[in-house]
Every structure is written in structure tokens, then in C-alpha cells.
Structure 1
Amino acid sequence: MSTTTQTTTTPIAHERVGWRAWAALAVLMLPVLLVSIDNTILNFALPAIARDLEPTAAEQLWIIDAYSLVLAGLLVTMGSFGDRFGRRRLLLIGAVGFTAVSVLAAFAPTAGWLIAARAGMGLFGATLMPSTMSLLRSIFPNRDQRRIAVAVWAGMFSAGGALGPIVGGFLIEHFPWQSVFLLAVPMLVLLLVLAPFLVAESRDPHPGRIDVASIVLSMLALGPVAYGIKEIAVHGAAGVLPLAIGGMFGWLFVRRQRRMAQPMLDMSLFRRAAFSGSLLVNLFSVIAMVGFLYFVSQHLQMIVGLSPIEAGLALLPGAVTSIAGGFAVTPIARRVRASVVIPVALVLSFAAYLIVAFAGAHDVGMLVVGFALLGAGIGAAETVSGELILANAPVEKAGAASAVSETAYELGAVLGTSILGGILTAWYRGALVVPDGVPAELAAHAQETLAGAVNAAQTIGGTTGDALQAAAAAAFDGGVTVTSLIGAGLVVLAMAIAATTLGGRRDRAPR
């Protein structure tokens, strides 16, 4: 078993590593792929879970949200713990915990049990993601090699989100819903076997004391902010209070960090334009990616009529181009400034949204092409920005910096569904004209969601059912057009941020 511990703050910046490091990278991609798949896979299992456990409407929402809210609230804390106690150690602890809780989720007898298990998965998931990215900083001291490693990391994260529908569709069509949770077991068992031999330990050699107040403040800030964002998108003003509470605790957290000699999170990192700019590029890129997945997966299944597997396969080219974009941009990023590379890459994502907005979502071919372009652009942009985040953080604080990066990813996933999904839902509800002859109860279900309209149309059948299905499709696709234009605007915002904040070149990572 490898017992090497990297605690030095001055690695040899140009030292190139061999096969062992690349094998370690392959092992670290297992939890990255798993956690990103988990962000989208549960949507396919939810109908079967609802039939089996009979959750209330509120419980059904918490089955989805408990994971992401706990994960977002704990990322900075767990990143700091990794810096202090060892990033590999935290990764292995997280893998054991995630595996155990996933088994508990698979055999949940009640909805409340499943919600608690999902929260536990969020807790241990928060130990996995920052550890994987921060370990790249110590495994690959050579920046050119690290760019490739980050390309793999970003590609796996994006690919996991796109593969979630494919994996989920396959499992639900062939196995009980419990298989969605048991997927974690073989992946993380393999990690637990291989990581101790291939991944060297690393930590901050001078971590300072544990500050419980900072830990509590970070959790009280991030959790309510993520929850408030979701509530504002769905219920409007109801989300203002938790957002304000989170903002207040966030302010207290920042003030405390600035006053500490050895803070949990070095706030001076945010004064570096390349660090803050890269975080915002990642945030808006993930919003654009997740928002696109939100409406395209519904359109392909509920309007076009594809099965879950067929819909997932239609999104496969986007997963492939996301990985390919990250690899293709790596040699370019060595020679061209990020302020040029990222905006040029995001032109592809901008074009993707315009294709959907003006060609219309009814054309499946255009949706496939659009997602492929979106994946290529965002895969390239996130590779460059992700490497800049690591390069602009001292190696001993890699865990905390990676946790901030992961928080941007998770908030982007929350915002993508909440903002773009909320706008699409609001447009759909306002635009749907229920045909005459639809019973009031079914009409109310149709007004709520596209799924409700499709189920109502199937229940009614005949000419009236067909008319309701057509009206719902028209209303939904009208919302897709509006949402696509907003998504294009978010991509333009990311391009502008990159062009104005990432102008300098950093050939050496700071010590």
C-alpha cells in the first residue's frame, strides 16, 4: 500500500509524471462519474418509486432535493477537512459512507427513510468531489499534464450528467428502481481497492486550528441559498426568506475568514481575477448545460415519444463532444490566452441555443446537433477554467479551492433546473389552452406540468385527448424557445466574463 504523503508546498512545477499518475486519474474518475450521474439518474426512477413508496408531493420533491442541498451546503467544509486530514483519506471515508448509504436507500421501506438516505448520500458525496479535483493538483505538478487531467475530470463530470438518462433508462426498463442506488456499490468498491495503491496522500502541512464557527457558518450560508433559489423559481416570494438568511450567514462567514490568521477559506483567492472569473464561467456554463438537459429530456420522451433509453442515446453525441472538446482545447490553451480560448469555445454553445430557439424543438435532429455543439463548447470552456482555478490556488489550499469550484458546479446544477426550468414551467402554464371537453380535475393536472398533460391526454383518449396533447406540446415548445434565448444570453455572459477577467497568462501555478 502506498504511504507517500505529499505535504510540501513547492512541488517541482515542470516535473512530468508517468503511468502511475494516469492510473490514479482513472481511479479518481469513478466517483466523479458516479456523482454526476446521480444528479440526473433519479428522475427516471421517480415514477416507480412513487408507485412503490407512495410519497406525498412534498416528500417526492425532497427525495430529489435532499441530496443536492446537503451536498452544496457541505462542499466547502469537506474541502477544508481534506486539506487538513488528508485528501485521499477523506475520499476513502466518503466512498465507504456513500456505498453504505446507497444500499440503505435501495432498500428504503418508506419515503422518509429514502429522504434521510438521500441526505446521507449528499453528506458523503461532498467528501468525494473536492477530494478528486484537489488531488489532481498534487498528482500532476506539471501544468501541461494537469490541463489534460482537468480535461478528463471536466469531461467525466459533463458526460456523467448526459449519461444519467441513458443509464437510468436502461436500469428502469430492465430492473427494479433499487438498481439506481446499487449502481454506486461496484464503482466505489473498485475505488476502495485501487486508490490506496495508486493515489498518494496529500494535505496542507500547516492547516491551522479547526474553527467550528466557520464550519457552521458555511453550512448555514450555502444550504439556505441553494434552497432559496429553488423556492424562488417554483414558488416566487417564498424563497426570499431562506435566500436572505443564507446571505446573512454568508456575510458573517466572509467577515470571520478575513479576520482569521489561518482561515478555513482564504478569501484573498477571490481577489485574483483568474480565480473568480473562472468560477463564474463554470457557474454559467453548468446552468446552460443543465437547463438544456431539463427541457430536452422531457421533450424527447413526452412529446416525441421516445423511450428513456432512446432519449438517452439521442443525448449521447453531446456527452462525446463534451469530452472531445476538453481534450481538443488542451494543446490550444498552452499557447492562447484563456480570455480568447473560452469565448471562442462558447460560441459553439451559443449557436446550440440559437439552433433550438429558431429551428424549433420539434426537430429531433436539430436537438441532437444542438446538444452536441453545447457539449463541445462547455466541455472546452470548463477544462480551461477548471485548470485556472487549480493553478491560481496554492497547493496546500487545493482542497478548499476545489470545494469552491465544486460549489459553483452544484449551484449551477440547482440554478439550471430552478431558473431555466422555472421559466419554462411558468411559460407553459400561461400558454396552455385546455381544449373544451376536458374534465376539470384532469385540466388542473394538465396545467401543472407537461407530464400531467400527457397523462391526462392518455386517460381521455380520442379526439379530445389528441387535442390536449397537441396543445400541451405547443405550449411547452413555446417555452423551450424562450428558455433557449435566455440560455444563449447566459452563455454570452460567460463569454464576457472570460474575456474581461482572464486576460493574464499564468504559466506557473502560485506557490
Structure 2
Amino acid sequence: MTRTNAPSVAGRKEWFALCVLLLPVLLVSMDLTVLYYALPAMSAELQPTGVEQLWMVDIYAFVLAGLLLTMGTLGDRIGRRLLLLAGAVAFGAGSLIAAYASSAESFIAARAAMGIAGATLMPSTLALIRNLFHDQKQRRSAVAAWSAGMAAGAALGPIIGGLLLDNFWWGSVFLINVPVMVLLVVAGPILLPEFKVPGAGRFDIISAVLSLGAVLPVIYGLKRIAAYGFGTLPVVAVVAGLALAVAFIRRQQVVSNPMLDLTLFRQRAFGASIAINLMALFGLVGFSLFTTQYLQMVAGLSPFRAALWSIPGTVAVGLAVPVATAIVRKVRPAFVVSGGFGLAAAGFFTITFTPVEHGLAILLSGLTALSAGLAVVMTMITEMVVASAPPEKAGSASAVLQTGQEFGGAVGVAVLGSIGTAIYSKLMDGVGPASAQETLGGAVAAAQRLSGQAATELLDKAHQAFVDEMHVVAMAATLVSLIGAVVAAVALRHVKDAPKPPGESSPDVPSSTEEELVAAVN
């Protein structure tokens, strides 16, 4: 491997490389949502048990979340491009096996493999952006494109999945991953630089096991609590995960080659950014369940039409993020992030006025505002984390950020979901069968077994209870967003981003020491 000094200003090759890096970002975010639309057809063919169906849905996200930190650190040691390309091969192979799975067990195994591969892709893309773009303005634009790719993938997943399922068999939603991964494997060695930390120590297997043992039980427990309420198993899982997290942190303090450098958290921009990003995902992911239920079970839209109505939010994200990246050149990041939370709070508050009937316009207005606001928050925070970490730690720093996102989303689903369930159950107490008193889906199913006026009355009461529940949850998300605005304004107030006077070097142009650490192109 030959060392060359990395340019301070990115050229055409670096921007083409960014396009290549967006390929796995789009696919990994799409794969988090596309399965829900293929599940009915898959269940009819594979005939899974109830437990198998749960694992078919959850295994991908569980494995991905649990291995993010491990893979981010591994990429710093063995080479980020190498890990990215290896992950692309594994993701394509897993997609191929999933598409032609003949049993629930083989599909679960394939989705687990895709989760492992997905965990190698996401930290590597952000870390390589840190290597490709050293000028702060260019890097912020690159991170904005990365964030837009994540949002676009989440929005496109249901739409593309719906189109494919209308015309092909369920395996087609996974088969489309294969040619994209082939393109990444072909173009990656040409356009992407390689980077690995010179003289990196031995990879700590014990830390990797502890990190996996800490993340998986907590994510599992929080999701089970959100779906089924508090119980012995999910509570024990969360407590066990937290205990292993403490053991993991203590090991990082004493081991010679830690997986996670805890000194990163001493930097105000890094530690505060992780916490603020968690708050953003709390509201965004936690409220998404209520959005889909309203669109499909209250407004009566098909899954595909409901997915189409997510396009305005995606467009708003595409417009808001570039505007924010321009504003932050003149205004401190703290105020831009705080403004993003403020816009999200306005969006959540708007949703509290959504009526049972003809409420689509109000709901979508609120969703558009909150999507744009939280996208601004996450883009600014992502860039701060990437910039605050030295190049040799960019992989592990990116993994910490994304692991925090998984936690934020899981906590949001658990907390907001539990609040909503409690309110719905109280409002529906004594109305219809027991299943109708627990969830809106249960009420819809119960109404299908009734006829005439009885079915209409049950649905009317369930719809009203659900909308009242959604109002309370939206108000809770409003308060969290307002708190996030205050926290961002206070915690990030010392982070400056003013342009340097003419003739003075950019704050992020690599020093000679940094240049020695930056990957050389083979």
C-alpha cells in the first residue's frame, strides 16, 4: 500500500465515490421497511409459526443493531473499504438466499446474515465520507446527501415493495439488492480509498461479545415491552443488557486496545451530539407506528397508497437539509439544531388537531414538518460526530452514533407505544371483546366478525379512542422535541462554525500528522 497525502478539497472522483457510498445506505434503510409488505405472501407460502414470524420480522434489525459497534471498530483495524466490500458480498448473498428461501428457518438465517452484513455497511460509509471530504463545507454536504439517502430508502422501501409485490413473487423485494451490491463491489475498489489505523492493536473479542450482549437484550426487551407490555422476560432482558453495558464500559477503561475510546465523550460536540440524536430518533421512530395505523386503519388507505403519502415528507427532507447546511455556515450549529427541533415540535403539535374523519391533510402537514425538522437535526448531528472524531476513530464513532439511533428508536417505540396503549385501553374499557379493548387492529378484526350497526359502532369508538391516544402521544413527542431544542441550544452553544478569515486555513484541513493517518489509495 502506497501512502499519498489526501487532498483538502474533494474533486470529481470523491463525489463519484459518494454516489457509490449511497448505494448501501439506500438498500439497508429500504430493507428495514420492505419486509412488512411482503410478510402476508411469505407467511402463506412458508407457513411460519407465531414465534418464527416474529423472528422473520425482527432478526435483521436485532443483529444489525447489536453488531454496529463491533463492525465499526473492525473496519478501523482491517480497512474500511475492505469491510464495506466484504459486507456488500455478504448482503447480496443473503438477499439471494432470502429471495429463494423454502422455509421459515432458512429465511430467518438469511435475514440474520443480511443484518450482519448491514452492520458492516453503515459505519463504513460514514467513516469513508470522513476520509474523502476534509473540507468542512463539502463534508457537510456529503453527510446531508447520506442523510437524504437514508430518508429516501425508508420512503422508497414500501413503494418499491408494493410495486414489486403487485407484479412479481415476494422474493423479488430481496432480489433487487443483488445487482446493486454487484455494482458496489465493482465500483468500490476504483473510487473508494482504503483506510486502516496504522499499528492498530489486536481486536478485543471479549469487548465485541460484551457489546453484542449489551445491545441485543436491551433492544429486544424494549420492543417486547412496546408490543406486549411489561413482563418478566423483557424486563430481565433490559436489566441484563444494561449490566453487560456497564461491564463493557469498565473493560474499555482498562484494556490496552479498547473497542471504544471513551475519551471521545469528553468532547462536548461528541457526547452531546449522541444524546441529542437519540432524542430525535425517540420522536421520529416512536411516532411512526401511530402514523401507519391512522393511514391504514382509520383513513382506510391500502399499504401502497399509505406509502405514497410519505412522499411529501421525503421531499421536505430533501429541501430542508440543503437549506440547513447553507444556514449553518452563518449561524452556529446549536441554533440550527435547536430550530430543527422547534420545527419538529410544531409538526407534532399540529398532529394533535387531527380529527377522526377527513384528517389526512392535517396529519400529513404535521408529518412533513416533523420529518423536515428531525432530518435537519440528524444531519447536523451526524456531521458533528464525524468531524469531532479523528480519522483513525471515525468508524467506531460512526458506529456509536448509529447504535444510539437504534436505542433512541427502540426507547421511543417502547415509551410512546406504552403511553398510547394505556390510553386506548382506558378509553375502550368495556367496549366490545377483549381484543378490541387492547389495540386498534384487534378492534378492526373484531368488527369484521360483526355485522351492521354493531360493527359500525365498535369501529367508531375504536377510531375515536385511537385518535385521542395519538393526540396524547403527539403532545408527548412535542414536549420531547422542545426539550431537545433547549438541550441543543445549551449543550452545543460553544461549538463554532464561522468561516475563517481569508488566508487562514480551514479548521478541518488535515495536518501533516493527520495526513499520515489518512488512507492512501492503493
Instruction: Give the TM-score, by structure 2 length.
Output: 0.90
Q: Displacement, 1:115?
A: 2.0
On the 8 A contact 1:328/1:380 being kept in 2, the answer is: no
Instruction: Determine which of 77, 85, 95 is the counterpart of 1:84.
Output: 77
How far, CA to CA, are the matches of 2:109 and 2:329 in structure 1? 46
What do the CA deviations read for 1:163-189 (whole angstroms, capped 9, x no partner)? 333223323333322222223222222
Q: Letter of the aligned partner of 1:242 in structure 2?
A: A
How far, CA to CA, are the matches of 1:470 and 1:359 in structure 2? 15
- For the aligned residue pairs, the C-alpha RMSD in angstroms reads 2.0
Instruction: Determine which of 222, 236, 239 is the counterpart of 2:230.
Output: 236
How far, CA to CA, are the matches of 1:170 and 1:472 in structure 2? 31
How far, CA to CA, are the matches of 1:401 and 1:122 in structure 2? 20
On the 8 A contact 2:317/2:371 being kept in 1, the answer is: yes
How far, CA to CA, are the matches of 2:18 and 2:447 in structure 1? 49
Q: 1:322 to 1:417 in 2, by over 3 A?
A: same
Q: Letter of the aligned partner of 2:62 in structure 1?
A: L
Say whether 1:289 aligns with 2:279: no
Q: Letter of the aligned partner of 1:487 in structure 2?
A: A
In the alignment, which residue of structure 1 is the partner of 2:94? 101
Secondary structure, aligned partner of 2:352: helix
Which range moves more in the overlay, 404-413 or 390-399?
A: 404-413
Say whether 1:364 aligns with 2:365: no
On the 8 A contact 1:37/1:164 being kept in 2, the answer is: yes
In the alignment, which residue of structure 1 is the partner of 2:502? none
1:323-472 → structure 2 map (5 Å cutoff): 323-360=318-355, 362=357, 363-432=359-428, 443-472=433-462
Q: Displacement, 1:318?
A: 0.5
Give aligned pairs, total. Answer: 498
Which range moves more in the overlay, 228-237 or 332-341?
A: 228-237
Question: Unpaired runs of 5+ in structure 1?
Answer: 437-442
Q: Displacement, 1:415?
A: 2.8
In the alignment, which residue of structure 2 is the partner of 1:21? 14
Q: Displacement, 1:361?
A: 5.9
Q: 1:487 to 1:4 in 2, by over 3 A?
A: farther
How far, CA to CA, are the matches of 1:167 and 1:451 in structure 2? 25
How far, CA to CA, are the matches of 2:146 and 2:245 in structure 1? 29
Q: 1:456 to 1:39 in 2, by over 3 A?
A: same
Instruction: Give the TM-score, by structure 1 length.
Output: 0.92
Q: 1:158 to 1:393 in 2, by over 3 A?
A: same
Which range moves more in the overlay, 132-141 or 197-206?
A: 197-206
How far, CA to CA, are the matches of 1:467 and 1:58 in structure 2? 34
Q: Letter of the aligned partner of 2:95 in structure 1?
A: S
Secondary structure, aligned partner of 1:264: coil
Question: Unpaired runs of 5+ in structure 2?
Answer: 498-506, 515-522
Q: Displacement, 1:506?
A: 4.9
What do the CA deviations read for 1:7-64 (whole angstroms, capped 9, x no partner)? x8xx56xx21111111111111111111112222222222222222232322222222
How far, CA to CA, are the matches of 1:487 and 1:121 in structure 2? 32
What do the CA deviations read for 1:297-356 (whole angstroms, capped 9, x no partner)? 121112111122211111111111112221111121122212111111221110110011
In the alignment, which residue of structure 2 is the partner of 1:49? 42
Q: Letter of the aligned partner of 1:272 in structure 2?
A: Q
How far, CA to CA, are the matches of 1:361 and 1:29 in structure 2? 39
On the 8 A contact 1:104/1:117 being kept in 2, the answer is: yes
How far, CA to CA, are the matches of 1:419 and 1:503 in structure 2? 29
On the 8 A contact 1:325/1:375 being kept in 2, the answer is: no
Q: 1:410 to 1:435 in 2, by over 3 A?
A: closer
Q: Displacement, 1:5?
A: 6.7
Say whether 1:489 aligns with 2:440: no
In the alignment, which residue of structure 2 is the partner of 1:247? 242
How far, CA to CA, are the matches of 1:401 and 1:228 in structure 2? 25
How far, CA to CA, are the matches of 2:356 and 2:272 in structure 1? 32
Which range moves more in the overlay, 261-270 or 112-121?
A: 112-121
Say whether 1:186 aligns with 2:179: yes
In the alignment, which residue of structure 2 is the partner of 1:310? 305
On the 8 A contact 1:166/1:311 being kept in 2, the answer is: no
What do the CA deviations read for 1:401-426 (whole angstroms, capped 9, x no partner)? 01101111222332333332333233
On the 8 A contact 1:224/1:242 being kept in 2, the answer is: yes
On the 8 A contact 1:156/1:323 being kept in 2, the answer is: no
How far, CA to CA, are the matches of 1:176 and 1:320 in structure 2? 30
What do the CA deviations read for 1:445-488 (whole angstroms, capped 9, x no partner)? 43443233223323433222222222221121121111111111
Q: 1:20 to 1:390 in 2, by over 3 A?
A: same
Which range moves more in the overlay, 271-280 or 111-120?
A: 111-120
What do the CA deviations read for 1:170-221 (whole angstroms, capped 9, x no partner)? 2333332222222322222221221121111112123211211111111111
In the alignment, which residue of structure 2 is the partner of 1:440? none
Q: Displacement, 1:261?
A: 3.4
How far, CA to CA, are the matches of 1:4 and 1:468 in structure 2? 71
In the alignment, which residue of structure 1 is the partner of 2:31? 38
Which range moves more in the overlay, 177-186 or 317-326?
A: 177-186
How far, CA to CA, are the matches of 1:404 and 1:352 in structure 2? 28
On the 8 A contact 1:356/1:481 being kept in 2, the answer is: yes
How far, CA to CA, are the matches of 2:441 and 2:43 in structure 1? 14
Q: Displacement, 1:137?
A: 0.2
Q: Displacement, 1:434?
A: 6.4
